[in-house]
Chains A and B, each alone.
Chain A
């Protein structure tokens, strides 16, 4: 799981049975003590592998939306919740956004329209590659040193060689890293167990950068895991989904579905699913 704190925004991404949405109220409270007012909210997630294990308020998307709405100030009245489907029934993308008219203007100011966010979810990882995210018995390494080893042997450190990486290995398995490169973050989380293996990659970029940049980065990130199924969500006010397809199709992944939806104060969300051609 990861937390990113910028002067004007906070991003929390958690897995497991964490109760992420319970952070909304204390975050608003602590930010108010600094003279900061909420101007925008975006909540996203895929379809849980173990939905019945999720605690309140994550028992269903409907419950999550009710909980968020109950905890947001009333002036964030431009709200939208949507479940974006795919041809794979277990892969849907859940999105909720909120903003108010006045703050939406500021929101756009803080989120330039050239910036995009890419959220990649990978399942059915190559078992040989997934094994790199298990701690070796008898190593006597702590989470930091074992994490550094995993970053190196998996090739994660070559995805963006210019980034500073902060990594951690969990016991007996699992891995999280954050990359920081100037004002850009990236993050990877891995659950490597066979049968329900999962890895995620997320980064931000600008449409003004070399069109190949995101293509190269996505290719490298996906090759670390060689998953059988990949879903990719891009959030941007401009078109970037084509770059995703150009990155994944040469890796033998075929686009099975693509859906697009518009969200106030967030822009356009495109959700694509890819599977290996052999499937």
Chain B
């Protein structure tokens, strides 16, 4: 393993969702309504944490540890 502990090649997961209520949800904020605590719980399972973040009107982007 590299000195930094990094294995270079990444694993990439993309999940798509649709809303139960076609009038609201996905077309509005959808998954962006996940609170930070929920994101941290998800990332805890992966063994990552958020180290930096940025967002705009379309989506949120997080740089993660590891």
Contact = CB atoms under 8 A, between A and B. Distances in A.
Contact of B30 (A6, A53, A167): A6
Contact of B14 (A41, A49, A121): A41
Contacts of B54: 164, 166, 178, 180
A27 B42 contact: yes
Interface residues of A, number: 85
Interface string A1-43: 1111111111111111111111111111011001111111111
B63 A19 contact: no
A103 interface: yes
A123 interface: yes
A84 interface: no
Interface in B43-66: 43, 45-48, 50-56, 58-66
Given A37-B20, A185-B61, A7 B9 contact: no
Nearest to A68: B13
Contact of A14 (B4, B21, B64): B64
B2 A14 contact: no
Contact of A106 (B10, B18, B30): B18
Contacts of B4: 170, 172-174, 191, 193
Contacts of B2: 191, 193, 196
Interface residues of B, number: 56
Contacts of B58: 6, 180, 182-183
A24 B50 CA distance: 18
A144 interface: yes
B23 to A, nearest CB: 11
B12 A12 contact: yes
Given A12-B12, A168-B51, A193-B3, A1 B56 contact: no
A103 B16 CA distance: 10
Contacts of A278: none
Contact of A1 (B1, B21, B66): B66
A143 interface: yes
A121 B14 CA distance: 18
A11 B12 CA distance: 7
Given A31-B17, A106-B18, A180-B56, A7 B66 contact: no
A249 B45 CA distance: 41
Contacts of B8: 15, 49, 121, 123, 189, 191, 196-200
Given A31-B34, A37-B17, A53-B1, 14 more contacts: A3-B61, A4-B61, A5-B34, A7-B25, A9-B31, A12-B13, A15-B11, A20-B11, A22-B46, A23-B13, A42-B12, A53-B7, A58-B11, A164-B56
Closest 8 CB pairs of A and B: A198-B8, A7-B30, A1-B64, A40-B16, A166-B54, A183-B58, A178-B61, A36-B17
Interface of B: 1-21, 25-34, 38-39, 41-43, 45-48, 50-56, 58-66
Interface of A: 1-28, 30-31, 34-50, 53-54, 58, 103, 106-107, 110-111, 119, 121, 123, 143-144, 147, 164, 166-168, 170, 172-174, 176-178, 180, 182-183, 185, 189, 191, 193, 196-200, 202
